[in-house]
Structure 1
Amino acid sequence: MTSYHRRYAAGEHEAVWAELRALGPVGDPLREDVAAVAELTMHRAERHLDRIEEQLAGLGFAAAWQVRERPTLECLADLDRLAAAIGPLPAAYEAGLRVLGGVSFVGDCPALGLGHRRPAGAPVYPDPLWLPSVPSLREEWDDYRADTAEYPDLAADGFYQGAPDEPHQAKVSGASFDLALPDGCADPVVDGVHGRPGITLVQYLRTSVAWGGFPGWSFAPPRAVPPALAALRAHPDF
């Protein structure tokens, strides 16, 4: 049987990920193959994110946080420790932490409708891409352990790795996108994404790249979408 990685590398991007999602928890015989697909996916996504980051600079983008927090050797070693403590991490999520690290397109850019309020004519916020880093996972895990040590009943709610939702990313009070951990699946569902119930991490990355890093604009009428966004958009080849 042809490996998932070989099929993915040959161009079966969406078909392979659809099959991997249908697997549920990934068993040991497939774990290495699935991890290779996830790693290649994130390397391909990284090329798009690097391109968007470079082009944002030419649009007068003022970042609210570090745009790319690339993983160091120390981060990767800590991720190994976290995976051992938390339990199985979804393949796509772990590969994202190892390859992409933290990503934040949150900031101010009038040309893209980014700022402290919802842009005129847009039904939702632009939803700049935000991916948490290994240090943020460490911080949340340590807080969770401290909280459950003091209040054991909280353990029943489980552990979630979060990222700010659309209003928070526009620096307005909001909620969060959540990932339930541990989870041995290939591509985890990201809860709380406005208008996208059941969307997975890889699907969200694809949508983000297709919309130049700001997928909230996909819900706006065409006349409201900033013209400058066109140069950032690309077909996701992953």
Structure 2
Amino acid sequence: MTAPGLLDRYHAGDRERVWHELRQLGRSVRDDPALAAEAQEVCDEMARRARHNVELLVARLTAAGYRFHHNDDEQTPATPYAPPTPDATAYANWLESTFGEIPMTLRSWIRYVGDVWLVGTHPEWPDSSSGDPLVIELEGSLNPRYGSMRETHERCRAHHRPEWGPFVLAVAPDALHKANTSGGDPYGFLLPDGCADGSFRVDAAMPFVSYLNVVFTYGGFPEITGDDAEWSIRHELSMDLLPL
């Protein structure tokens, strides 16, 4: 009897060990076409589960009267979620041709999840924007007023210098900027990166899937604010979200 493959083990709940093994392989996961294909399937399944979580969070927040808004003084209303556009795969290919190899998890997110913007205000948790709500913007379909994400990434790349370290593909404001205060560097992926799971820079670099699991564990708001209402709200938001 052959040993279960990576995807079968992932479906069976052996997710942490599967991610550990894929991370240990590093970029060499791409050397064997069969292994690379199976690793991409694991990443795709991760993204499908993440999309389920995102859609559930948006529905729950909407039902609770949450106001999705931009991180500006006017609190301009914002759309919380946009699924991938028909150009999503082409956009992922453009990223790889422009910045070098991109992680498989990043490619999967682009193709299966889309853009997410959970910044806003909960009626029973006034400081909810300080909870570091989940934001991942790649195609830029939620904030067209800021221009094309391709143009933004190209401008950042043009000004990047090798001595500054790896290029960071910015996909979200940091926790302070989400709360409309002065903050630090944006969150993003370190590129190029040919691994299955990419390095995602928050305050420090960590695996992207690890970051997402923390976010979903806390109902989309991983930063503890100290507000009395937040724990019951987080608990309700996080119920039955799928681990990745």
Gaps (5+ residues) in structure 1? 117-124, 149-153
The yes-or-no answer on 1:48 pairing with 2:53 is yes
Report the counterpart of residue 178 of structure 2 in structure 1.
Answer: 169
The yes-or-no answer on 1:112 pairing with 2:122 is no
The yes-or-no answer on 1:138 pairing with 2:145 is no
Q: For 1:47 and 1:80, how far apart are their aligned partners in 2?
A: 24
Pick aligned residue for 2:215 from 200, 204, 208: 208
Q: For 2:215 and 2:158, how far apart are their aligned partners in 1?
A: 34
Report the counterpart of residue 202 of structure 2 in structure 1.
Answer: 192
Q: For 2:50 and 2:198, how far apart are their aligned partners in 1?
A: 17
**Cα distance, 1:57 vs. partner?**
0.7
Contact 2:199 2:208 (C-alpha < 8 Å) held by counterparts: yes
Q: For 2:231 and 2:63, how far apart are their aligned partners in 1?
A: 15
Contact 2:43 2:108 (C-alpha < 8 Å) held by counterparts: yes
AA partner of residue 11 (structure 1): G
Gaps (5+ residues) in structure 2? 70-77, 141-147
Q: For 1:201 and 1:129, how far apart are their aligned partners in 2?
A: 13
Report the counterpart of residue 234 of structure 2 in structure 1.
Answer: 229
Q: Once the two structures are superposed, what CA deviation does each residue of 1:168-207 show, in whole Å capped at 9, x if it has no partner?
A: 11121212223211101121222233xxx44321011111
Identity %: 29
Q: For 1:236 and 1:174, how far apart are their aligned partners in 2?
A: 31
Contact 1:107 1:114 (C-alpha < 8 Å) held by counterparts: no
Q: Once the two structures are superposed, what CA deviation does each residue of 1:51-94 show, in whole Å capped at 9, x if it has no partner?
A: 11001012221112321121111232222222222211111111
**Cα distance, 1:40 vs. partner?**
0.2
The yes-or-no answer on 1:84 pairing with 2:97 is yes
- The two structures, once aligned, show a CA RMSD in angstroms of 2.3
Q: For 1:209 and 1:186, how far apart are their aligned partners in 2?
A: 20
Contact 1:113 1:126 (C-alpha < 8 Å) held by counterparts: no
Q: For 2:8 and 2:116, how far apart are their aligned partners in 1?
A: 28
Contact 2:88 2:110 (C-alpha < 8 Å) held by counterparts: no
Q: For 1:192 and 1:75, how far apart are their aligned partners in 2?
A: 24
Q: Report how many residues are paired.
A: 220
Q: For 2:188 and 2:157, how far apart are their aligned partners in 1?
A: 18
Q: For 1:115 and 1:51, how far apart are their aligned partners in 2?
A: 18
Q: For 1:85 and 1:226, how far apart are their aligned partners in 2?
A: 42
**Cα distance, 1:41 vs. partner?**
0.6
